[in-house]
């Protein structure tokens, strides 16, 4: 009798850990939802906004803040290009007072560069490692921003972009008739010195979810690939995993990005901006200036993407 029970116990024990063994990558694999530490970062006073929670997930004593560790403080908020929550809704760039945008000094003897940024959903911009500003709206409604900084060439741009989530730690939102639907990201930016987002930028994902079958996630060199993973929405919660990688503290300035994959370009139609005034009212400043929407290889499942670009 004992000889029968023992193999069964061993089999049951193996079944408990078998799912993570289907994954052969370098990420920390964590099942289920996060522990919410803050229910909502932002409420729109003049419109509707989705809840923007912050949570934490743990794996073998290592904590991962989801969807990201952010410096969301009013003192860092960038100037509004379009923000219905603050009542800033110009119909075009002609109605924008660029001179009112503060200039952040990186180099005293530098030149002033003006940048236009539209992120789905949240961004933090660093120039030569200095924080220039953060997005004042973490999730929705969609907004766009202006930055001005004084810098001399060459210089380095680093942007953290977060595709926010309503279901903390699951990478999903209540959308398209499904309670658990993965959202999509996207970043486009142009700068007055001719710098624009395109496939020359380096991009790396550090938080990917939801993953329902770990065998769909693969890695080739520095590429963290989930192209074959399911992206359909669900009516109810199914067992889901998230993939996490630790972010180096000096990521805005170190040279690790040279081995990252290059960004993937997406069309305006793929990102879905034709009904977003925060973008369409200033299309000439974005795609009209030669910029393209960029992300990692999976614009739906990759929720935290870091971008680096060296301006010569």
Given a contact cutoff of 8 angstroms between Cβ atoms, the answer to whether 74 and 111 are in contact is: no
Phi, psi (deg, nearest 5) at residue 170: -110, -15
User: Is residue 54 within a helix (H) or strand (E), and if so which, with residue range?
Assistant: strand 54-59
- Residue 252 phi, psi dihedral angles, 5° rounding: -70, -15
Confidence of residue 279 (pLDDT cuts 50, 70, 90): very high
Q: Is the pLDDT of residue 18 over 70?
A: no
The domain locations on the chain are 19-311
DSSP string across 216-246: G-EEETTEEE-TTS----BSS----EEEE-P
Three-class SS state of 150: strand
| pLDDT tier at 308, thresholds 50, 70, 90 | very high
Residue-by-residue DSSP string for 1-14? -HHHHHHHHHHHHH
How far is residue 195's CA from residue 290's CA, in Å, rounded to a whole number? Answer: 9
The pLDDT tens digits for 36-61 are 999 999 999 988 999 999 999 999 99
Answer yes or no: are the C-beta atoms of 309 and 153 closer than 8 Å: no
Residue 57 CB contacts under 8 Å (≥ 6 apart), including other chains: 30, 34, 35, 63, 64, 66, 169, 242, 244
Instruction: Give per-residue burial for 253-287: e unless 16+ CB within 10 Å, then b.
Output: eeeebeebbebbbbebeebebeebbbbebbeebbb
List beta partners, residue 111: 151
Q: Is the pLDDT confidence value at 16 over 80? A: no
Whole-model pTM: value is 0.93
Confidence class for position 22, pLDDT limits 50, 70, 90: confident
Residue 235 phi/psi, 5° resolution? Answer: -80, -30
Integer Cα distance of 203 and 208 in angstroms: 14
Rounded Cα distance between 237 and 168, Å, is 13
Residue 59 burial class via C-beta count within 10 angstroms: exposed 0-12, middle 13-18, buried 19 and up: middle
Residue with tokens 């509707």, as numbered in its chain = 48
Q: How many CB atoms lie within 10 A of CB 43?
A: 11
> Given this model, what pLDDT does residue 20 score?
55
- More reliable by pLDDT, 8 or 74: 74
Closest to 286 measured CA to CA, from 303, 304, 270, 267: 267
118: its two tokens: 């539209």
What integer is the mean pLDDT of 123-135?
98
Distance CA 281, CA 146 (A): 14
Q: Residue 16: enclosing H or E segment and its boundaries?
A: helix 2-21
Q: How far apart are CA 49 and CA 67, in angstroms?
A: 17
Contact 197, 285 (CB under 8 A): no
Tell me the helices (H) and strands (E) count for the chain, helix number first. 3, 21
Q: What are phi and psi of 73, to 5 degrees?
A: -135, 140
Q: Which DSSP helix (H) or strand (E) runs through 188?
A: strand 187-191
Please compute the mean of the pLDDT values over residues 252-273 and round it to a whole number.
98
Among candidate residues 108, 150, 118, the one with its CA nearest the CA of residue 279:
118
């Amino acid at each position: 009798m004992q000889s029968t029970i023992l193999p069964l116990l061993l089999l049951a024990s193996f079944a408990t850990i078998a799912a993570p063994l289907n994954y052969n990558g370098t990420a920390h694999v964590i099942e289920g939802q996060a522990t919410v530490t803050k229910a909502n970062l932002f409420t729109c006073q003049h419109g509707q906004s989705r809840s923007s929670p912050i949570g934490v997930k743990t794996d073998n004593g290592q904590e991962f803040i989801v969807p990201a560790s952010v410096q969301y403080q009013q003192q860092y908020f960038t100037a509004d290009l379009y923000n219905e929550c603050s009542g800033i809704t110009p119909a075009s760039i002609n109605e924008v007072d660029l001179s009112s945008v503060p200039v952040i000094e990186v180099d005293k003897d530098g030149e002033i560069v003006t940048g236009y940024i539209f992120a789905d959903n949240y961004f933090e911009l660093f120039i030569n490692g200095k924080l220039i500003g953060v997005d004042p709206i973490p999730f929705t409604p969609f907004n766009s921003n202006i930055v001005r900084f004084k810098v001399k060439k060459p210089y380095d741009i680093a942007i953290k972009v977060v595709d926010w989530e309503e279901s903390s730690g699951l990478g999903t939102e209540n959308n398209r008739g499904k309670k658990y639907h993965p959202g999509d990201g996207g970043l486009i930016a142009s700068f007055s010195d001719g710098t624009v987002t395109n496939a020359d930028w380096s991009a790396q994902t550090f938080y990917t979810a939801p993953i329902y079958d770990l065998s769909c996630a693969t890695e080739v060199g520095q590429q963290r690939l989930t192209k074959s993973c399911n992206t359909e929405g669900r009516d109810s919660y199914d067992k889901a995993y998230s993939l996490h990688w630790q972010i180096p503290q000096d990521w805005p300035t170190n040279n690790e990005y040279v081995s990252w994959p290059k960004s993937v370009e997406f069309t305006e139609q793929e990102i879905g901006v034709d009904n977003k005034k925060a973008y369409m009212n200033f299309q000439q400043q974005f795609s009209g200036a030669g910029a393209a929407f960029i992300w990692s290889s999976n614009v739906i499942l990759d929720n935290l993407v870091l971008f680096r670009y060296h301006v010569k």
